[in-house]
């Protein structure tokens, strides 16, 4: 985007240095913007264009030249969006930044600022964070960063395409943060998207341009500077989803943030070997999401929904997995007034209960009551085989306490008989163990500063914000992208104090 002119930047607001002319002294923001809406001008056949190259951009600068900032700046930027969304027709916000989770999303000013934006019909997409591994290289749980811990935002983890065009060899990025969330113990991420070895815009004169020279990529036009840069991280995955949301809204402007999340999850592809706390509802399927969004905008009576074999046909509503049905796009669940995962909308007593109704035969209808079929979200009033989640056996619990300690066999990670891998155990001493047992505290994800691998602790400033990027690809993997090979020895850029 910079320094090649403003192009499609409709507005620039600087919350760091109060400058009025657009600039990017760090380089992270322009790389993210290019993934969303770059036009690929300097690449052959525009092969390095962004996901939604016709989208307009509003640039809000919240980090300094070193990629550091304050939570106050993030909140100020979100408040600006809430006030100006209609003026600039802002429909999606990308947040490739994160902060440590210190309190419930119901009281955190950052997550509440994001909610104020979502309540205005703007979809907030945020990076999950790069805390998928501990210092020893082992998988760890609970590394989701704020505001990605909130249910009203769309939280994106990172996958790897392995440098190929086929989806068959795609894998999870080992660095990508896993759920559950700290404090509230919510199921996250919502889904994952490509974030490994991503080529996007470079900014001459920026910090990234100087410190990551080995990852600069030449373009196909004669220029005085190198136009592209390769980075890895959930910061790169989030804008892939943001660009997809822009295309969905182009196809169907009536979509709400909740319905957008539902469509993205429903059309995602589930990969074997990864729990919902790693991959969410699955790997992003941009084409499928746009097709389903368009279908809901144009379908007439009798039209068949364009379901594809690879679609997950599931959503994760709160901490439950909803499978086997179809999304009703007009249901109350998708209203901007409804918090994703809530048990009811609190509109009318007895109405809009997520599961369980006044009639025993309708126990597994997702939304609505036996007297109000218009509010059923999943399945139809004539087909009760499309139950949304589980029975007394808790078959579809993703994460949480619904099993009540009686039947936890289908909790996302581990079983009551395999205590080494319990995420949220039933034994009193294991209640807060994320990884390992009560005798193995080295891999606890959250705790105090005394724990060796704490993702967030109790001894750091509470105003640190970091851009989660560039942890490097998994060990022993070379990722080929055309004529460039990303080496396996990527040195991570310091991303601020946690």
Rounded to whole angstroms, the Cα distance separating 200 from 242 reads 15
Residue 442, pLDDT > 50, answer: no
Mean confidence (pLDDT) of the chain = 75
Rounded to whole angstroms, the Cα distance separating 145 from 495 reads 13
Question: Average pLDDT for residues 476-492, to the nearest whole number?
Answer: 26
Q: Does the domain spanning 9-311+468-486 belong to CATH 3.40.50.200?
A: yes
pTM of the model: 0.78
Confidence at 331, pLDDT banded by 50, 70, 90: confident
Confidence at 491, pLDDT banded by 50, 70, 90: very low
Strand order in the sheet with 216-217: 198-201, 228-231, 216-217
Residue 386, pLDDT > 70, answer: no
Counting Cβ atoms within 10 Å, is residue 438 exposed (0-12), middle (13-18) or buried (19+)? middle
Confidence at 486, pLDDT banded by 50, 70, 90: very low
Question: Average pLDDT for residues 416-423, to the nearest whole number?
Answer: 34
Confidence at 463, pLDDT banded by 50, 70, 90: very low
Decide if 159 contacts 194 (C-beta within 8 A): yes
198-201 and 228-231 strand pairing? antiparallel
Residue 421, pLDDT > 80, answer: no
Question: Average pLDDT for residues 462-472, to the nearest whole number?
Answer: 47
Question: What pLDDT shows up at residue 398?
Answer: 58
Confidence at 498, pLDDT banded by 50, 70, 90: very low
Residue 118, pLDDT > 90, answer: yes
Confidence at 156, pLDDT banded by 50, 70, 90: very high
Question: What pLDDT shows up at residue 418?
Answer: 33
Question: What pLDDT shows up at residue 44?
Answer: 75
Question: What pLDDT shows up at residue 321?
Answer: 84
Question: Average pLDDT for residues 121-129, to the nearest whole number?
Answer: 98
Rounded to whole angstroms, the Cα distance separating 103 from 403 reads 25
The residue among 478 and 215 whose pLDDT is bigger is 215
Question: What pLDDT shows up at residue 7?
Answer: 65
List the domain boundaries for the chain. 9-311+468-486
123-127 and 154-160 strand pairing? parallel
Bridge-partner residues for 194, per DSSP?
159
The residue among 389 and 271 whose pLDDT is bigger is 271
- Kindly report the number of other CB atoms within 10 A of residue 341's CB atom: 18
Question: Average pLDDT for residues 147-167, to the nearest whole number?
Answer: 95
Q: What separation, in Å, do the N-terminal and C-terminal C-alpha atoms of the chain show? A: 30
């Amino acid at each position: 985007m910079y320094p090649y002119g403003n192009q499609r930047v409709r507005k620039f607001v600087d919350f760091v240095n109060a400058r009025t002319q657009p600039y990017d002294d760090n380089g992270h923001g322009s790389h993210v913007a290019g993934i969303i809406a770059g036009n690929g001008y300097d690449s052959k056949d525009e092969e390095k264009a962004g996901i939604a190259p016709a989208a307009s951009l509003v640039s809000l600068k919240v980090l300094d030249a070193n990629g550091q900032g304050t939570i106050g700046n993030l909140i100020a930027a979100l408040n600006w969006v809430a006030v100006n969304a209609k003026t600039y027709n802002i429909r999606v916000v990308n947040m490739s930044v994160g902060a440590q989770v210190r309190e419930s999303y119901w009281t955190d000013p950052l997550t509440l600022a994001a909610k104020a934006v979502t309540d205005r019909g703007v979809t907030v997409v945020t990076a999950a964070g790069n805390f998928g591994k501990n210092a020893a290289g082992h998988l760890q749980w609970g590394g989701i960063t704020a505001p990605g811990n909130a249910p009203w935002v769309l939280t994106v983890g990172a996958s790897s395409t392995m440098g190929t065009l086929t989806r068959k060899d795609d894998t999870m990025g080992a660095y990508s943060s896993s759920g559950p969330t700290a404090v509230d113990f919510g199921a996250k991420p919502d889904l994952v998207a490509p974030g490994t070895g991503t080529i996007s815009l470079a900014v001459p004169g920026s910090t990234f341009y100087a410190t990551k020279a080995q990852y600069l990529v030449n373009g196909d036009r004669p220029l005085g500077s190198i136009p592209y840069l390769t980075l890895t991280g959930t910061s790169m995955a989030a804008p892939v989803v943001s660009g997809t949301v822009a295309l969905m809204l182009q196809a169907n402007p009536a979509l709400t943030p909740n319905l957008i999340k539902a469509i993205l999850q429903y059309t995602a592809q589930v990969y074997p070997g990864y729990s919902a706390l790693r991959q969410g509802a699955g790997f992003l399927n941009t084409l499928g999401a746009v097709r389903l969004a368009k279908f809901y905008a144009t379908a007439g009576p009798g039209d068949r929904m364009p379901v594809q074999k690879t679609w997950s046909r599931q959503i994760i509503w709160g901490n439950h997995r909803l499978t086997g049905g179809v999304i009703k796009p007009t249901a109350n669940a998708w209203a901007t007034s409804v918090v994703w995962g809530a048990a009811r909308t609190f509109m009318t007593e007895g109405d809009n209960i997520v599961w369980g109704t006044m009639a025993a035969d309708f126990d597994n209808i997702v939304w609505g009551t036996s007297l109000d079929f218009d509010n059923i979200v999943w399945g139809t009033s004539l087909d009760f085989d499309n139950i949304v989640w589980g029975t007394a056996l808790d078959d579809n619990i993703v994460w949480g306490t619904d099993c009540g300690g009686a039947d936890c066999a289908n909790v996302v990670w581990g079983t009551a008989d395999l205590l080494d891998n319990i995420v949220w155990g039933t034994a009193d001493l294991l209640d807060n163990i994320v990884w390992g047992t009560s005798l193995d505290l080295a891999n606890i994800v959250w705790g105090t500063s005394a724990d060796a691998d704490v993702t967030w602790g109790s001894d750091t400033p509470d105003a640190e914000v970091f851009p989660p990027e560039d942890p490097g690809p998994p060990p022993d993997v070379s990722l080929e992208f055309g004529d460039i090979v990303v080496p396996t020895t990527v040195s991570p850029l310091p991303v601020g104090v946690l």
